[in-house]
């Protein structure tokens, strides 16, 4: 079963804090993982992807992958009110099959 699980939240952090979003997956066949941001009523947009164990940084965002624990996370540093959205974790398999988690709703309070 290709399942991706996220804590649906909601998660609330003050402006300037670090927001930590977590995701686990059940199928070790997952090759790569993606974090998307979705504003209400809009389509998802890619933040970053990761496929190797360890950390990957892009500006204020850091993705972390631990294949042994089947765990993916996204850290958002210096959180801004504009970061308030739903964050979707997705796992991709060999045949382009891409499965999403339920999403975590993040609110950044000014």
Q: Are 92 and 31 in contact (CB under 8 A)?
A: yes
Strand, helix or coil at 65? strand
How many other CB atoms are found less than 10 A from the CB of residue 84? 19
Q: Look-up: residue for tokens 């294949």? A: 67
| Shortest separation between residue 81's beta carbon and another protein, angstroms | 21
Q: Is 43 in the site for another protein (CB under 8 A)?
A: yes
Q: Site map for another protein, 60-79, x if CB under 8 A? A: --------------------
Mention every residue, 6+ apart, whose C-beta is less than 8 A from residue 97.
2
| Shortest separation between residue 76's beta carbon and another protein, angstroms | 19
Q: Look-up: residue for tokens 């402006």? A: 15
Q: Is 91 in the site for another protein (CB under 8 A)?
A: no
Tokens of 22: 């977590």
| Shortest separation between residue 38's beta carbon and another protein, angstroms | 9
Single out the segment in contact with another protein by CB under 8 A; choices: 13-21, 63-71, 74-82, 94-102.
94-102
Q: Which is nearer to another protein, 51 or 71 (CB)?
A: 51
Indicate the DSSP class of residue 52: S
Q: Which residues bind another protein (CB under 8 A)?
A: 6, 8, 31-32, 34, 42-46, 49, 51, 88, 90, 92, 94-103, 105
């Amino acid at each position: 079963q290709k399942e991706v699980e996220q804590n649906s939240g909601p998660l609330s952090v003050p402006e300037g804090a670090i927001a930590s979003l977590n995701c686990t997956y059940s199928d070790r066949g997952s090759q790569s993982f993606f974090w998307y941001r979705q504003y209400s009523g809009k389509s998802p947009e890619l933040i970053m992807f990761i496929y190797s164990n360890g950390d990957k940084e892009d500006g204020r965002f850091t993705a972390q992958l631990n294949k042994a624990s089947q765990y993916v996370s996204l850290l958002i540093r210096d959180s801004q009110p504009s970061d308030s959205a739903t964050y979707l974790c997705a796992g991709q398999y060999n045949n382009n099959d891409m499965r999403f988690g339920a999403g975590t709703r993040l609110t950044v309070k000014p």
